[in-house]
Amino acid sequence: MSKVKVLMREVVVPYHPVFKKTPELCDIGLEFPHYFNIEALVEECLAEEGHYTLVRGDHHDFSDGSDCKTASIRPTPQRPGSASYKGEISGVQTASGSTKMGALRCIIYNPHTFDLMYYYLPNSFWMHNIQLHPTSGIGKVVFSWNDASNHIPKFKDFQCGSFKELAQATG
């Protein structure tokens, strides 16, 4: 199952204001999720559930200054036989050094469990965890997921229990 299909099933269909009212659109979205701009739909769902405005600004997506990010855990381990799998939240800093201005509302797809994990990363946390891509110079936050514990240890203090909790998180 793909990231787009799981995002459509777990986020867009139950939370998007248009999809909730249109069963035919839900059917199409679930069968052909790649027809849609899933990131834009997820942003609209967050704004709807979080009761803030979607502004899609240069350094933030929402009126509260936060930004929506989707990411995936890699399907192969860091080293053969390891229980650790890398992932990254890309685009948190431009090559010129401009960063996102607020918290990151992160939805991370886990291809091992076909599920989503939700994290509200405050600016004060992620700003100190930026790694620059060696050739593009674009900043990202790198993390590892542990198969044995089903956790991202680096983000343990910032996990949200549901999409709604992520949408409504503050601080």
pLDDT, residue 1, reads: 80
Backbone angles phi, psi at 157, to 5 degrees: -80, -5
3-state class of 23 per DSSP?
Answer: helix
Residues of the chain with pLDDT under 50: none
First to last CA, the chain: 33
> Domains in the chain, start-ordered, CATH in brackets?
3-168 (3.40.210)
Question: Contact at 8 Å (CB) between 77 and 85?
Answer: yes
- Please provide the DSSP assignment of 53-89 as one string: -B---SS-SBTTS-EEEEEEB-SS-SSTT-SEEEEEE
pLDDT, residue 81, reads: 84
pLDDT, residue 159, reads: 97
pLDDT, residue 163, reads: 98
- The reported pTM is 0.94
